A and B are shown apart, each in its own frame.
Chain A
Amino acid sequence: MQWSVIFKREMMEYVRSIKWIWVPIVFFIFGIMDQITMYYLPKIIDATGGMPEGAEVNIPSPPPAEALFMSINEMNTLGILIIGLLSMSLIAGELKSGVYELVLSKPVKYANYVTAKWAALSTLVLASFFIGLLAGWYYTNILFGELAIDKFLVAFLVYGLYLLFFITIAIFVNTWFKRPGMVLFLSILLIIFVNIITSILGHFLTWSPGHISSYVSTYLFTGNITTEMWGTIGTTIVLIIGLLYAAVEVLKRKEL
């Protein structure tokens, strides 16, 4: 009961701050931007003066799998940045402004507070990501050739898990600091750190969440889900639960 009250309050807050309008729109634009640019690239080069005389450059039209992956690539950079900006003052802002004390002066369980906020942000982000990737998939079908819908669905589910992982990191960092800028910086630093570790020790850490985007890319081309991919999905879920638990524990021990 209590959980759903906090969740609904958070949803109302997203409606009031118009996040429910602009976040889906921004993800929609991220989803289709690259496909459109790629499609018009030869014409853009022509219009801006063209190639020098005699230079013959053929820009091959990318296969559909690669075209859909461009949307995911866009989410990997700009999408992560937007999620970081959305989550930077989620709990930190309330710690700072004193709303947090107000909320917890009532008998609210820390676990309810953290998980409800996490679920609210996840709903917003996953819905927006779904819209963006769906648009990207639609444009891929129109411009670059057919791609089965199950590929889109699996890509959404698996990459969505990576976005959830990042949201969880951001929530975890939220419980440490009161300054939103610091939270944004640290959560992005942590996800970069995960990716760097994965690229250095990738041979050992085949189940690291940092592999998700490359596994999704491989899946889009081949169409089989490898055991490494299942392993990665498992680790990511475990890490999400662990980080949420840690966030609750940190918040409990926090002096106000």
Chain B
Amino acid sequence: MFEINWALLAPLFIVEFILLAVALIDLIRIDETNGPKWVWAVICIFISILGPVLYFIFGRRP
């Protein structure tokens, strides 16, 4: 295996984590979503980056 420069990748992981955290907190606080909540939770957790973005665009009810 090769050496990974963590200082280089840290911003990416931090930002990804913020995105996930914001999505999950919002998911808990929101009253209703398009479709069942637990499905969105699974999508957010298991699909990195794209999952939370999909939730923000399609999951939140205006």
A interface with B by C-beta (< 8 Å)? 17-19, 21-22, 25-26, 28-29, 32, 36, 39, 43, 46-47, 82, 85, 89, 93, 97, 135, 142-143
Contact = CB atoms under 8 A, between A and B. Distances in A.
B53 A22 contact: yes
Contact of B19 (A19, A22, A85, A97): A22
A97 B62 contact: yes
Contacts, number: 44
Contacts of A29: 12, 15-16, 49
B18 interface: yes
Nearest to B58: A85
A93 B1 CA distance: 51
Contacts of A19: 56
Contacts of A85: 57
A11 B13 CA distance: 28
B60 interface: yes
B2 A22 contact: no
Interface residues of B, number: 20
Given A36-B12, A93-B62, A25 B2 contact: no
Nearest to A26: B53
11 contacts: A18-B26, A19-B56, A21-B22, A22-B22, A25-B15, A28-B15, A29-B12, A32-B11, A43-B2, A46-B2, A89-B62
B55 to A, nearest CB: 9
B2 A18 contact: no
Interface string B1-29: 11000001101100110110011001000
A28 B53 CA distance: 13
Given A25-B19, A36-B8, A142-B8, 6 more contacts: A18-B56, A21-B22, A25-B18, A26-B19, A26-B49, A32-B11
B53 to A, nearest CB: 6
Contact of B12 (A22, A32, A43, A93): A32
Of B19, B52, B56, B57, most buried by chain A (CB within 10 Å of CB) is B56
Contacts of B12: 29, 32, 36
B9 to A, nearest CB: 7
